[in-house]
């Protein structure tokens, strides 16, 4: 049994897509928007077929919607691993709720399955939240493609009241090889003392701070932003699924929810295989206790192989 565990330890990241998960972790799940689920969406079937609303599949409920046909994202059938997705046009498409919830989040962990199609430099939005009628970056959170024209997915801006960066800040560090149109699994950890970006399981930008500010979710938007008194920053993106946890997610949540999305949409990632849970990993390697939850959970294939060799004698 111990020898079998050694063989499983070095599972290649590309093999993660063979695992399947029925659903993400439900604990602390605040938002779950799933364009691939016919039961969770309402369509306007007048050609072209568009998405007029999405149900929040999290226990807290609610919807995001768009009454105007010309502002509804297109439904693209079987576009990603046989699953339907939405296409926001970057002109005026947006799904929103102006009264989503009056209960703010003290921390947030975001997972987004999306493909950027272009970036015109006007902070094209993926998701935006905030207080009613107030700028997202001052009262909630915005995740967008940044300022300045981009020729590939090499820029991702994340802002909120915990860390306001005038003009935005790029959290991408390895984006030059990511052409537009390519699907990605984003993870954004906006926690009490740090903000960090993970793209396809690989850690990229990270900053630390001390700020008690909360993330308001009175207003929630997919595909656009709200700042300087108006809706703007429409994203030219494809979007499949969004998970938002109102907490600093633990290792099991990070791994399980990320792997659920990676397997469902067949996105290659560097997340750990599910047979190596974080709690066992910490017991096997005590020095991990000194590392952040992120580093505990996201070991690369190379690190796994090195640890396998170093600790082989302990397992045999």
Contacts (Cβ under 8 Å, ≥6 apart) of 2: 315, 316
CA angle 45, 47, 52 (to 5 degrees): 45
User: Which band of pLDDT confidence, cut at 50, 70 and 90, is reported for residue 272?
Assistant: low
* Residue that is written with structure tokens 């709200």 in the block: 226
Burial of 144 from C-beta contacts in 10 A (0-12 / 13-18 / 19+): buried
**Cβ atoms 235, 160 nearer than 8 A:** no
**Cβ atoms 35, 85 nearer than 8 A:** yes
**Higher local confidence (pLDDT), 195 or 272:** 195
Burial letters 166-186, b for 16+ CB under 10 A, else e: eebbbbbeebeebebeebbbb
Domain ranges of the chain: 2-11+270-315, 24-265
Average pLDDT, integer, range 259-281 = 70
Give the pLDDT confidence of 235-257 residue by residue, as tens digits.
999 999 999 999 988 888 888 89
Give the pLDDT confidence of 96-154 residue by residue, as tens digits.
999 999 999 999 999 999 999 999 989 999 999 999 999 999 999 999 999 989 999 99
pLDDT more than 70, % of the chain: 79
The span from the CA of 206 to the CA of 187, in Å, is: 12
Burial letters 278-311, b for 16+ CB under 10 A, else e: beebeeebeebeeebbbebbbbeeeebeebeeee
Burial of 68 from C-beta contacts in 10 A (0-12 / 13-18 / 19+): exposed
- The CATH class for the domain spanning 24-265 reads mainly beta
**Cβ atoms 137, 160 nearer than 8 A:** yes
The predicted pLDDT at position 3 comes to 36
Give the pLDDT confidence of 274-316 residue by residue, as tens digits.
433 344 343 434 343 334 444 444 444 444 445 444 444 433 3
pTM assigned to the model? 0.83
Predicted confidence (pLDDT) at residue 52 exceeds the cutoff of 70: yes
């Amino acid at each position: 049994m111990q020898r079998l565990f050694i063989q499983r330890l070095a599972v290649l990241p590309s093999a993660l897509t063979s695992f399947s998960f029925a659903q993400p972790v439900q604990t602390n799940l605040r938002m779950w928007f799933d364009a691939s689920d016919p039961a969770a969406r309402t369509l306007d079937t007048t050609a072209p077929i568009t998405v007029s609303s999405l149900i929040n599949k999290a226990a807290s409920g609610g919807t995001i919607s768009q009454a105007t046909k010309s502002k509804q994202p297109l439904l693209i059938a079987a576009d990603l691993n046989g699953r339907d997705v939405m296409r926001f046009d970057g002109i005026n498409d947006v799904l929103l709720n102006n009264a989503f919830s009056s209960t703010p989040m003290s921390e947030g962990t975001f997972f987004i399955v999306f493909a950027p199609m272009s970036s015109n430099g006007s902070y094209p939005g993926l998701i935006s939240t905030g207080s009613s009628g107030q700028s997202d970056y001052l009262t909630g959170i915005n995740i967008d493609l940044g300022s300045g024209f981009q020729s590939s997915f090499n820029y991702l801006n994340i802002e909120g009241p915990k860390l306001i960066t005038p003009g935005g800040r790029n959290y991408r560090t390895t984006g030059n090889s990511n052409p537009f149109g390519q699907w990605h699994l984003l993870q954004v950890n906006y926690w009490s003392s740090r903000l960090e970006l993970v793209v396809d399981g690989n850690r990229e930008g990270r900053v630390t701070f001390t700020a008690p500010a909360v993330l308001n979710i009175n207003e929630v938007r997919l595909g656009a932003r709200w700042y300087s008194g108006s809706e703007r920053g429409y994203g030219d993106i494809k979007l499949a699924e969004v998970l938002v946890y109102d907490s600093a997610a633990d290792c099991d949540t990070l791994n399980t929810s990320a792997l659920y999305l990676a397997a469902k949409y067949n996105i290659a990632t560097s997340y750990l295989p599910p047979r190596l849970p974080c709690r066992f990993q910490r017991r096997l390697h005590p020095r991990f206790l000194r590392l952040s939850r992120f580093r505990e959970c996201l070991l690369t294939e190379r690190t796994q192989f090195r640890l396998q060799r170093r600790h082989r004698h302990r397992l045999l």
